[in-house]
Amino acid sequence: MTLGQKLKALLKDNNMTQEDLAERLDVSRQAVGKWVNDKGIPEVGKLVQISRLFGVSTDYLLKEECEEKSALMEKAMEENGASESGFYVSQEMLNGYLLYCRRNVRRIAGGISLFILSNIFDCFGSDSIMMSLFYWLTMMAGIAIVLLQFFQIGQYQKIKNGHLIFDDKVYEDFKKQRESRRKKYAFAVIAGVAVLMASSEMQGVLTVYLGQAVCEVLEWAADTVWIALIIWAGMSMHADSIVVKNTEHFPQSGNMKRYRWVYMALPVTAAAVWIGIVTNAWSPYAPIIILFCCLLVTTCKLLIEK
């Protein structure tokens, strides 16, 4: 019996419908339909929930299914002249990984945004007790969100660190969706750079018409927007690239080549600060903030991967 046939039998024996199972597992009705019709396999966490719900073992659910998948993968690798093995990823597991990454990115970008946005309250005067309170509350909230993200239990480690195997249709659909998302991320990066350049160019004009305090508020708000956009786009693209890299190439443990840019970051940042001071083309603080954000994102990636 396949996994789908076993699920049908279990649902019938327990007088449950597919909608009932979907509600119990907190998934869509379509996802359960795919499992029952052998068009997909639940991720590990959902399999454990199913086994507990029906009082059966995960071995019972997966034994013949895994043997069938293994036989198909071995046959495919023999036809392609390949002998390597890998971790099989279902459509549901891939969707779960992408959703997990998006949540992480939103939390990290949101925490950093709150940290930067807290400076707005300082623009109205540090002598105000209320403004100082808002300043520290917002800053500590941002720091707390980022720290809590780091202390979460890591999930989907096999997807992040192992060689992945997909059904052809699942992987092709993922690559098409990835290309569509990359356009959105590229637009976000361009928008972030545009906000950065506009805020630098308009600073003097806004100071004359709106006053120093309002100008500083707008400047910190603009910094928050472009930094959040770049962090969101960069980390989202990184999550997608992990799937492609681990599917098309064997991941090498300890490979830190992608982080070699850090060695050139300091001299490039120093040169950008000097150009900003001499030519007044941009704020001298902008390259420092960019470097800080890049280092922070890199640290986030390393911690999440670990």
Task: Please check whether residues 127 and 245 belong to one and the same domain.
Answer: yes
Of 11, 46, 79, the one marking the end of a domain is 79
Angle at 138 between CA 137 and CA 143, to 5 degrees: 95
For residue 87, the SS3 value is strand
C-alpha distances in Å from residue 131, one per residue of 115, 144, 282, 300: 15, 20, 29, 30
Residues counted in the chain? 306
What is the extent of the structural domain holding 148? 87-249
What is the structure's pLDDT at 125? 63
What is the structure's pLDDT at 32? 86
What is the structure's pLDDT at 66? 46
State the CATH number of the domain containing residue 34: 1.10.260.40
Q: 7-20 pLDDT, tens per residue? A: 888 888 888 888 88
Residues of the chain with pLDDT under 70: 59, 63-86, 125-127, 200-213, 249-267, 274, 276-282, 298-306
Task: Please check whether residues 178 and 39 belong to one and the same domain.
Answer: no
Does 261 fall in a domain? no
Does 278 fall in a domain? no
pTM over 0.85: no
Does 271 fall in a domain? no
CA–CA gap between residue 66 and residue 47 (Å, rounded):
13
Task: Please check whether residues 95 and 239 belong to one and the same domain.
Answer: yes
What is the structure's pLDDT at 221? 86
HEC readout, 152-191: CCCCCHHHHHCCEECCHHHHHHHHHHHHHHHHHHHHHHHH
CA–CA gap between residue 80 and residue 211 (Å, rounded):
69
Does 287 fall in a domain? no
Of 79, 103, 125, the one marking the end of a domain is 79
DSSP per-residue string spanning 115-129: HHHTHHHHTT-TT-H
- As for how many domains the chain has, the answer is 2
β strands within the chain, DSSP E? 87-88, 164-165
Task: Please check whether residues 186 and 93 belong to one and the same domain.
Answer: yes
